[in-house]
Amino acid sequence: MTERIYTLEIINPQLFYGPNNAHLNLIKSKFPKLQFVARGEEIKVFGDELSMNDFAAGMQVLEKLYIKKGELNEHIIHEALQIGYTDPENATTAIEDVMLIGTRGQKIKARTMNQRKMLESAKQNDILFAIGPAGTGKTYTAVALAVVALKEREIRRIILTRPAVEAGENLGFLPGDLKEKIDPYLRPLYDALEDMIPSDKLKSMIESRTVEIAPLAFMRGRTLDNCYVILDEAQNSTDLQLKMFLTRMGPNAKLIITGDLTQVDLPKKQMSGLFRALKILRNIDGISIVELDTQDVVRHKLVKEIIKAYDKADEQI
């Protein structure tokens, strides 16, 4: 029987053990052939050599994930031990690909080449335009970038906004207060956030305005600083609205503008402000444009075929 001592030098012992030793018990369940004696920062582990090596690999991954995420929960522990056990040689790469662990334990990461370009461009530029058809993960990736920046304390707030423009429907006469009228436009942003932040914590963050979701018109007159701001569905903003939004930017802010130029819901005589912005801002240092296409579609496989069919039909008009 082999004996090793593992010292908690990187992970906070209280976080490592978890409430009522829940985290430690989870780790024990993953290594039934090992015995653990834990006292403060020191954990003695007894067992066979093979299981001991798997445990050591898992702990290395767990430390890296802890440094990256700044927190520890059952989902992160499960992910770390799984990576360490199945692919220890590529553990560092696997961790770097994962942006964060979602509320259902899912790995949230860039899934296509252009989504990875979004990640790199967001690191190197303060304004990012992500343009592409439906289902390419523009909004989801943008929200994930903002959540990671908030968790890593790079910014203090997340602001998510959309133009309140109906997609062929009139919602203005629905009953309810202003929030109830506006929420249908902003629902996709809530959906993305709920995938990444536990509902009770998200509710608290919205109440404290750490996370703010509002129509584009509400941005007028503000200075947006120490925050990550995402303008979604930007193809439905007018030229004046988009200029207004871009000039709200404070010294320590990041802006991501997403849009699909094939789905403009503005009145026919009104040109999308996104067209002009892409044309006149393309060559400014600090502004990046990432164009996604059908190869980046991550929804149902039929979505890609539907987009191709419409594009082909439009070409024949």
Whole-number Cα distances in Å, 94 to 7, 63, 91, 129: 24, 14, 5, 27
State pLDDT tens for residues 84-103.
655 555 555 555 567 777 88
Please say if the pLDDT value at position 67 is more than 80.
no
Contact 140, 301 (CB under 8 A): no
Please say if the pLDDT value at position 181 is more than 70.
no
State pLDDT tens for residues 291-313.
998 878 777 778 778 877 887 88
Report all structural domains of the chain as residue ranges with CATH numbers, in order of start: 2-101 (3.30.1370.10), 110-316 (3.40.50.300)
pTM for the predicted model, two decimal places: 0.67
Task: Tell me the DSSP string of 168-227.
Answer: S---TT-SS-HHHHHHHHHHHHHHHHHHHS-HHHHHHHHHTTSEEEEEGGGGTT--B-SE
State pLDDT tens for residues 112-151.
888 889 999 999 999 999 999 888 889 999 999 999 899 8
Q: Assign residue 66 a region (left: φ > 0; alpha: ψ between -120 and 50; beta: otherwise).
A: alpha
Please say if the pLDDT value at position 196 is more than 80.
yes
Segment 244-265 shows an average pLDDT of: 93
Please say if the pLDDT value at position 234 is more than 60.
yes
Contact 118, 258 (CB under 8 A): no
Q: What is the distance between the alpha carbons of residues 198 and 30, in angstroms, rounded to a whole number? A: 25
Which residues, listed in sequence order, are joined to residue 86 by a DSSP beta bridge? Answer: none
Please say if the pLDDT value at position 205 is more than 50.
yes
